[in-house]
Amino acid sequence: MAEFKIALIPGDGIGPEIVSGAKVVLDAAAKKFGHSFNYTQVDMGGCAIDKYGVPLPEETIKTCMESDSVLLGAVGGPKWDSVPAEKRPETGLLGIRKALGLYANLRPSILKPQLAAASPLKSEKLVSGLDIMVVRELTGGIYFGKKQRAEDGSWASDEEKYSVEEIRRIGKIAFETAMLRKKRVVSVDKANVLESSRLWRFVMTELAKDYPEVTLSHMYVDNAAMQLAINPAQFDVIVTSNIFGDILSDLSSAIAGSIGMLPSSSLGENKRGMYEPIHGSAPDIAGLDIANPIATIISAAMMLRMSFGLIEEADAIEAAVDKVLDEGYRTADIMSEGMEKVGTKKMAELISERL
């Protein structure tokens, strides 16, 4: 019997509903395989601003540091759009990544055969076997660079800055991920314009010498976006900077049919990670029991596999998701003709039962 401490951050909007759904599935897996998952729920994002006046309380950081991993729902919403930049809900997200040293974000985009009709790319040739892993640098670049704004509001600037070590460590994760897949890496940059991208390309090229089995190619970000839209199956592993990864991973997820289906993991030097769906807080549907919990449930499965080493348990959860989809159950975002529509709670219950 294995015991693990999990910090739960439900967050805002639909966050509490989808995290609750994932917890139902985790509890079913724990019961089936004889494990013990001990949860501690903490606040971050808009709900923390409402309670404590800050998006990331110190107690939340402390609890996450003392946990084996973190499962996050979603943060933010228009309610907090007018608060100062340093106190926005998203600042809490950046802060917890920095505090936990989570510099690598892995976002798989996999189009399940059951959901092929949900992809905006209707050509089966384009999306058949779609399986892309976006490896995004998470704690550097323009999001964390120096920010300035004129007192009179006439100009503003954000600094894009990367060190060799920051680029090298994210590149290493990308190459090692590729070694477990099809051994192809596309490094995305804007080296024709940005000095930081020229350094990025140089470091990736040098690093590739350590992985002779992996084929490295380079692509400008604008071309990468176009290629994802017209021929996504050409990609295996994409590695890129914080801002480019933020954009391209959302595009790759849309191609896969629904952002409600796709998980992500944020990792650092040790096994503790933070796992979350890639979608936002969707406050317009919060509390209506219609949000898709599958991305959060698969994120929990990633946590079991990547941080806890529970491979069989993770496989079982993913197989249960496939079984429920095979049986024709759908939440509203992936609904198609002839399927049976279910809500957030029911979808989580069905998956837990199939375990």
- The catalytically annotated residue of 27, 250, 289, 322 is 250
Residue 289 zone, left/alpha/beta (φ > 0; ψ -120 to 50; rest): left
Active site annotation includes 222: yes
- The catalytically annotated residue of 50, 210, 222, 315 is 222
Name the residue among 164, 161, 173 with its Cα closest to residue 243: 161
Query: Do β-strands 263-267 and 274-277 pair in parallel, antiparallel, or remain unpaired?
Result: antiparallel
DSSP 205-269: HHHHTT-TTSEEEEEEHHHHHHHHHH-GGG-SEEEE-HHHHHHHHHHHHHHTT-GGG-EEEEE-S
d(CA 170, CA 134): 11
d(CA 342, CA 335): 9
DSSP 179-193: HTTTSEEEEEE-TTT
Q: What is the 3-state secondary structure (H, E, C) of 47-74?
A: HHHHHHCCCCCHHHHHHHHCCCEEEEEE
- The catalytically annotated residue of 103, 143, 211, 329 is 143
Active site annotation includes 211: no
Query: Do β-strands 156-158 and 69-74 pair in parallel, antiparallel, or remain unpaired?
Result: unpaired
Active site annotation includes 125: no
Name the residue among 113, 119, 137, 112 with its Cα closest to residue 295: 112
Active site annotation includes 190: yes
- The catalytically annotated residue of 43, 68, 189, 190 is 190
Active site annotation includes 39: no
Contact 307, 272 (CB under 8 A): yes
- The catalytically annotated residue of 23, 246, 275, 329 is 246
Considering all CA atoms of the chain, what is the largest pairwise distance in Å, rounded to the nearest integer?
62
Active site residues: 143, 190, 222, 246, 250
